[in-house]
Every structure is written in structure tokens, then in C-alpha cells.
């Protein structure tokens, strides 16, 4: 039997699902195993909830098919507004563009243990990462050089621009992976490697180098590998944001 976890250690969940029964059953299941859950009946309602500040989720679960705002467009808007991991829940395997844009998916119906493993990152798919956990997000040497050359506000502007550029490239990379376009994956990786390397953003530059090395056959296992690198790139971008807030507060 699945044992409820310590609520204080679990992320807040935002559940976006237009189907009443599915939404209520999933919310009840999550609540019973210890999660704090906020629900929204549509993509627009989910964005409104985030804008209100009433919900600051660590995880967003969203149905794969909803009328109105949904799919990849909703994922893009959610990522602009929060740093939560976004998972698709669906009655069947979601289309490749959604799996590439999201951080994972779960097929309905699912058990309490399955959904907890997904959210908690215990599944093998979500644990797999090509990032070196010991590699710093930013080169201390490069950061120190920037600080000698220019005022703190200018250094902050550099890394703010890097993060904004990464956000755009992550969206483009998601599309390229979904299409199996290995040439575009390599092109984006090359740009990330160069730009982030100049800024000393080590983790992001490392991911860019791995993407640049993608083989021609992106339809094979490399597609799964690129999806992993896409998640790693989001992690690197989030690390840059945390560095910016701690080292160079506005």
C-alpha cells in the first residue's frame, strides 16, 4: 500500500484539466497522498491563477487535450510565468510535440504510486540527466572578470539577456526535437554553446555542446537523448536565474 509522504517536503501542485471527473479524482488522489493541490478548469484559468499569486506551484499537471488554450502554446505561457515542472496527463500517449515541450507524461488511469514517482522525479525517465552535478552554473572566473570590467547592473543585464535567449532557444529546440530535425537541433546547440560559453554559463554551454553533437538520425534513440538534454537545458536556465537572484539582485 502506498504511504502518504510528508506534506512539508512535497511541491505544491497545479492541476489543469477541463474534465470534471478526471480533475476531481486526480485532485483527491493527490491530496490523499499528501500534496497541496490547486485546480483550474482551463488553460486560461490556470494562467489567471498564477497571475493572482494564489498558487506558486512546484509542479503543474495538465491534460493533453483541452478546448481553448492548451497544448504546446499553454506550456510555453506557463514556463514564462513560473518555474514549475510541467507534466502531461493523458488517456493515450501524447503527440511528440507535447512530450518534447513538457518534462514528462503519465497515461490515465494511474495509481497513487505512479503519480508520486512522476512528480517526485523517481522514475527512470526523469532521473536521467546528462548534467554534471558538480559543474558550476557559472564560471567564477568569468563572473569576476565581468565585475572588474563593468558595474553590477551591466553584469546583471548580460545574464538577463542570456536567460532570455535560452528561453527562446528552448522553445525552438522543443519544436525541432518534436519534428526530428537533427540539423536544427545541432544548429541550436552550436548557438547555445557559443553564447553561453562566452558568458561563462558552463552548464548551459555543456548542454549546447552535447546538442551540437547530435547525429543525423534524430528519429532514433538520439531523439530521446535530445529530450533529456532539453530538460537539462531548462535546469541550467533555472540555475542561472537563481544565480542572478543571489549574486546580482535587482
Greater confidence, 129 or 62? 62
Q: Grid coordinates standing for 26?
A: 486526480
Question: Which domains, from first to last, does the chain contain?
Answer: 7-127 (3.40.50.2300), 140-247 (1.20.120)
Give φ, ψ of 135 to 5 degrees.
-80, 130
Q: Grid coordinates standing for 91?
A: 488517456
Q: Grid coordinates standing for 250?
A: 535587482
Q: What is the pLDDT of residue 128?
A: 58
Highest-scoring range by mean pLDDT, 89-98, 109-118, 135-144, 229-238: 135-144
Greater confidence, 14 or 227? 14
Give φ, ψ of 17 to 5 degrees.
-155, 130
Rounded CA gap, 211 and 135, in Å? 18
pLDDT in tens, 110-160: 888 888 888 776 444 444 567 777 789 999 999 999 999 999 999 999 999
Q: What is the pLDDT of residue 219?
A: 45
When the pLDDT of each residue in the chain is averaged and rounded to a whole number, the result is: 84
Angle at 246 between CA 191 and CA 56, to 5 degrees: 85
Question: Does residue 222 surpass a pLDDT of 70?
Answer: no
Rounded CA gap, 168 and 182, in Å? 18
The distance in angstroms from the start CA to the end CA of the chain is: 48
Rounded CA gap, 173 and 167, in Å? 10
Give residue 6's pLDDT band: very low, low, confident or very high (50, 70, 90): low
Amino acid at each position: 500500500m502506498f504511504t502518504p509522504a510528508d506534506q512539508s517536503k512535497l511541491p505544491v501542485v497545479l492541476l489543469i484539466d477541463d474534465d470534471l471527473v478526471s480533475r476531481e479524482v486526480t485532485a483527491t488522489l493527490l491530496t490523499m497522498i499528501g500534496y497541496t493541490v490547486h485546480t483550474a478548469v482551463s488553460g486560461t484559468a490556470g494562467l489567471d491563477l498564477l497571475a493572482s499569486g494564489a498558487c506558486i506551484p512546484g509542479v503543474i499537471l495538465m491534460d493533453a487535450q483541452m478546448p481553448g488554450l492548451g497544448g504546446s502554446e499553454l506550456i510555453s505561457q506557463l514556463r514564462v510565468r513560473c518555474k514549475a515542472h510541467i507534466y502531461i496527463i493523458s488517456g493515450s500517449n501524447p503527440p511528440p510535440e507535447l512530450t518534447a515541450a513538457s518534462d514528462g507524461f503519465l497515461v490515465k488511469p494511474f495509481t497513487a504510486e505512479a503519480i508520486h514517482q512522476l512528480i517526485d522525479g523517481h522514475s527512470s525517465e526523469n532521473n536521467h540527466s546528462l548534467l554534471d552535478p558538480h559543474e558550476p552554473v557559472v564560471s567564477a572566473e568569468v563572473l569576476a572578470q565581468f565585475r572588474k570590467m563593468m558595474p553590477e547592473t551591466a553584469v546583471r543585464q548580460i545574464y538577463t539577456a542570456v536567460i532570455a535567449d535560452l528561453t527562446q532557444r528552448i522553445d525552438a529546440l522543443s519544436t525541432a526535437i518534436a519534428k526530428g530535425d537533427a540539423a536544427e537541433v545541432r544548429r541550436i546547440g552550436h548557438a547555445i554553446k557559443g553564447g553561453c560559453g562566452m558568458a561563462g554559463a558552463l552548464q548551459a554551454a555543456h548542454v549546447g555542446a552535447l546538442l551540437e553533437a547530435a547525429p543525423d538520425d534524430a528519429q532514433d534513440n538520439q531523439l530521446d537523448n535530445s529530450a533529456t538534454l532539453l530538460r537539462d537545458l531548462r535546469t541550467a536556465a533555472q540555475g542561472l536565474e537563481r544565480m542572478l537572484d543571489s549574486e546580482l539582485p535587482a
